[in-house]
């Protein structure tokens, strides 16, 4: 099924642990994004990638890192998780970085940091 796959679906994590959220798309989209969604704050951009090999910082990048080794994969890593990173994380993609493009989202990863 064409689209975006995220893993894990949910995870409970102890503070201080390292965690990688995986995101894979099979639509050959150039641009990919990571958002977090918190109650009352809406979706906020963490990091993005316009094309394989490039990444950029979004609105709330601190504590997160990404890599884009190829077109399909865009993992998000929390080097040392903190409770404030408890959130729902959505990976998204678009054909390219033009603003008129529509975003396609993955099903989300619900992360709880204790």
Partner 1 sequence: RKEVEQDPGPFNVPEGATVAFNCTYSNSASQSFFWYRQDCRKEPKLLMSVYSSGNEDGRFTAQLNRASQYISLLIRDSKLSDSATYLCVVNLNTGNQFYFGTGTSLTVIP
Closest to 10 in 3D by CA, of 82, 83, 107, 76: 107
Instruction: Pick from 71, 81, 93, 106 the residue near partner 1 by CB under 8 A.
Output: 106
Kindly state whether residue 67 participates in binding partner 1, applying the rule CB under 8 A. no
Shorter beta-carbon distance to partner 1: residue 28 or 57: 57
3-state DSSP assignment of residue 70:
coil
Taking a C-beta distance cutoff of 8 angstroms, is the pair 50, 97 a contact?
A: yes
What percent of the residues of the chain are helix, what percent strand, and what percent coil, each to the nearest 5? 5, 50, 50
Instruction: Pick from 48, 64, 71, 78 the residue near partner 1 by CB under 8 A.
Output: 48
Kindly state whether residue 27 participates in binding partner 1, applying the rule CB under 8 A. no
Binding residues for partner 1, rule: CB under 8 A, are: 31, 33, 35, 40-45, 48, 50, 56, 58, 90, 97-100, 102-108
């Amino acid at each position: 099924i064409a689209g975006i796959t995220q893993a894990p679906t949910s995870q409970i994590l102890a503070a201080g642990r390292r965690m990688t959220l995986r995101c894979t798309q099979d639509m050959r989209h150039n641009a990919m994004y990571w958002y977090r969604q918190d109650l009352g704050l809406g979706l906020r951009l963490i990091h993005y990638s316009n094309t394989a090999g490039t990444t950029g910082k979004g609105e709330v990048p601190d504590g997160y890192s990404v890599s884009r080794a190829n077109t399909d994969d865009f993992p998000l890593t929390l080097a040392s998780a903190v409770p404030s990173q408890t959130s729902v994380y959505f990976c998204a993609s678009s054909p390219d970085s033009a603003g008129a493009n529509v975003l396609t989202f993955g099903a989300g990863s619900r992360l709880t940091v204790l």
